[in-house]
Amino acid sequence: MKYTKTKEILNQAVADLTQLIMITRQQHWYMRGPNFLKLHPYLDDVMDELDEQRDLISERLITIDGSPYSSLSEVLKHTKLEDKPGEWGISTKDRFKTIIAGYRYLDKLYEEGIKASDEEGDYGSNDILTSCHTDIEKRIWMMQAEINEAPEIDK
């Protein structure tokens, strides 16, 4: 079967992007406090970008004869990102740290996918994953700056 490892990683990304969108939405809904009016719409942009990546990766998966996870039960079974109930009273900094943790996980998953797609000669998936990886790193930098911390991309 062609692109076996790449398909596996792309589908993992579909599950994890879906979960990270929900994690981000939760932080968006439960956010209160300083900078709310600025950060609440910012998280809309973050969710839109994650959804665009999910759609792009899902369509690439279909293009290479894969089958993206498309039900909540599949996502919950396969995601590696933990979920927990929403909670009030969490600082904006801690909310962003929760989202950043998901981004850091995706950063590593995309790196794994870039290597696998290169090894398997799937240059279309490689291009998509490289672009998404770059966007993920930029968001990490921006969110880390919002909480007054360095990007720490190389860790």
For 80-127, what is each residue's pLDDT tens digit? 999 999 999 999 999 999 999 999 999 999 999 999 999 999 999 999
Helix, coil or strand: residue 1: coil
Please check whether residue 67 is in contact with residue 5, taking contact to mean a CB–CB distance below 8 angstroms. no
pLDDT at res. 153: 87
Q: What's the pLDDT tens digit per position in 32-88?
A: 998 899 999 999 999 999 999 999 999 999 999 999 999 999 999 999 999 999 999
Please check whether residue 126 is in contact with residue 115, taking contact to mean a CB–CB distance below 8 angstroms. no
pLDDT at res. 155: 63
How many whole angstroms separate alpha carbon 107 and alpha carbon 17? 11
Which residue's structure tokens are 């911390």?
149
Report domain 4-146's class.
mainly alpha
Domain boundaries, the chain: 4-146
pLDDT at res. 34: 86
Q: What's the pLDDT tens digit per position in 3-32?
A: 999 999 999 999 999 999 999 999 999 999
pLDDT at res. 108: 98
pLDDT at res. 154: 76
Per-residue exposure over 28-46, b if at least 16 CB sit within 10 Å of its own CB, e if not: beebeeeeeeebeeebeeb
How many whole angstroms separate alpha carbon 110 and alpha carbon 128? 10
User: Distance of CA 141 to CAs 94, 100, 130, Å?
Assistant: 16, 9, 17
